[in-house]
Structures are given as C-alpha cells and as structure tokens.
Amino acid sequence: MKKLLVGLLITILLLGITGTTAYGCYTLSGKLAAQANSKYHIPNVNDLDYASDLNGNIDNGIFISGDLLVDVKDNLKLGGGIGFSSLNRLQDLDDNSFLKLGHIPIYMTARYEIPLENGPQFYLIGKIGYSFLLANIESIDNIDIDNIDLKGGLYYEIGAGLTFREIFFVESTFSANWGSLTNNSSMRSTSARTVEVKTSAINLGFGVNLDL
C-alpha cells in the first residue's frame, strides 16, 4: 500500500508539472478492455521440478484504466494513469499447481493524434510505468504458499485507436509487465527462492474521453 501511495503522488506531481506548460485543456479518459491471447513466461524454474522455462497461456480477463491527460502541443497529450487487471489463471501448469496472476500498473502516458479530414480520428498511444503484482495462489508444486512475497516490475503498453465525435474511442494495444514471487520457505530448502514472471496480453477496449 505504501508503494501504491508513493506512485500515485509521483503521478500527480508529474501531471502538475506538465500542466504548467500546457494549453490548459485536460482530458479524463476511462477504458474497459478485454484481454485476449494472454501469455506468461517463467524462466529458470528448475527448483520447481520443471525441466526448462515455463511458457503458456493465461485465461482471458478484463482490464480497466483511467488516465488524466493534458495538451502540451498540437495533437500531443501527456499525462499518467492507473489500471487494474483481473486475476486470471495460468494454464499448462502441472496438476499440483493452481495460480492466478493480475496487476495494478501506475504509468505515464503519451498520446499522439493524427488529424483526418472526416470521420473518426486516429491516434497512437504509449504507456510506461511500474506494475504491482497480484496473485491468487491455491497451490504450487514444492512451494509453501503461506510464505510467498510478491514484487512488481516494469510495465508498458503500446497501441492505436480511433476517436468518435471527440468523446468515444475504441483501442487495441499490446501490454507486458514483469514481477516476481519469492518463496521464503521451500519444502526442500529453508533458503529463499525467487521466480521471475513476465505476462503479456492483447487488449481490445472501448472508452470515453471527458474534457475538464
């Protein structure tokens, strides 16, 4: 929770600094997206009795986010935001393991709008920040699940979208985030073991822009 509050304060500070040089037009953007083609990668899992790296699919989920953007020059908006990914089950694990992962990213956003003469307006969007890892662990082979610490890591999202009537938008992005699970009490050893986790997804969403 402490890290979450610090991240929010940093985001607010960045928005305030950006706003001092802006044209003065703020936009609040909210999005709801379906996550498809989600993948995970867990390297160096020999300690868990797997022969090699783990790669597999993740159940489809949802992702919601809110961004506060400000015009800094023609067609370019900068800002920041926060999101939430639902906890989704990792597939292709062994029969003794059940694990769901999600994340809460806090990030900076850049959106570049490409003017078109008529119809929907096209834009490119990119986000980068820190993602807090979430997990629902019922069982992992060879792991005492009561002694697992979670740590977040890098988060990024890139994609494009279409804006209709300057209010509604549809968007397609690719996102990836990193984190780790540290087992402080292995069933085979009292030493701590850390497993790095990378997840990625295709996000297909829609949302609303509100000028403030």
Mean pLDDT, all residues of the chain: 81
**Predicted local distance difference test score (pLDDT) of residue 73:** 85
d(CA 201, CA 101): 12
**Predicted local distance difference test score (pLDDT) of residue 44:** 63
For residues 27 and 135, the model is more confident at 27
**Predicted local distance difference test score (pLDDT) of residue 91:** 83
- Residue pLDDT, tens place only, 48-83: 444 457 788 999 999 999 999 999 988 999 999 999
2-211 placed in CATH 2.40.160.20? yes
Tokens representing residue 25 in the block: 């037009």
Q: Where are the domains of the chain?
A: 2-211
The predicted model scores a pTM of 0.80
* pLDDT at residue 137 greater than cutoff 60: yes
Mean pLDDT to the nearest integer, 99-126: 92
Find the distance separating the first CA and the last CA of the chain, reported in whole Å: 29
Query: What does residue 6 show for φ and ψ, rounded to 5 degrees?
Result: -60, -45
What is the residue type of 32? Answer: L
Query: In a 3-state reduction of DSSP, which class is residue 86?
Result: strand
Tokens representing residue 185 in the block: 């009490």
